[in-house]
Structure formats: structure tokens, C-alpha cells
Amino acid sequence: MSEETPICSAKGCRSEAVWVLAWNNPKIHTPERRKTWLACEEHREHLSQFLGVRGFLKDVVLLSEWESSEAS
């Protein structure tokens, strides 16, 4: 598995990820903790909905923006 090319987290998808979905499960994570899923353009909505209906979704940002905010 290459570190260079982030791949979409959707099951069975091998597309390059464009989006980062930041989420938190309040039952198992402290409030400031962020788990992340990666999503391609096609699966962003599907994965967002999956997390959204559970009340877990915190943020959806472009991968490029996420990486630059992580670095700073």
C-alpha cells in the first residue's frame, strides 16, 4: 500500500481520495478526537450520509486543505 496516493475509504473502492471526512463517535471518543475517512468524489456523499445519520460527522474538507492544516 502506497503512502503517496490516498485511497477512498468506501468498501471496494480503489479511487484516489479527494475529501477527508472528520468524525467522532461520542460513545467511544473524547470530544476533541477526530477519526478520518477518505473519500473520492463519488463516495463523499455516501460516506457523509453514513456518518451524518449517526451524528458522527464533524467536518468535510478537501484532502489538500486537510494536509496543509495538519502541517501547520
User: Taking CB under 5 A as the rule, does residue 38 contact Zn ion?
Assistant: no
User: Taking CB under 5 A as the rule, does residue 51 contact Zn ion?
Assistant: no
Owner of C-alpha cell 451524528: 55
Q: Which is nearer to Zn ion, 10 or 51 (CB)?
A: 10
Cα 48 from Cα 60, distance rounded (Å): 8
* Least distance between Zn ion and beta carbon 17 (Å): 7
Residue 22: is it exposed, middle or buried by C-beta count within 10 angstroms (0-12/13-18/19+)?
middle
User: Taking CB under 5 A as the rule, does residue 43 contact Zn ion?
Assistant: yes
Where along the sequence are the contacts to Zn ion (CB under 5 A)? 8, 10, 13, 15, 40, 43
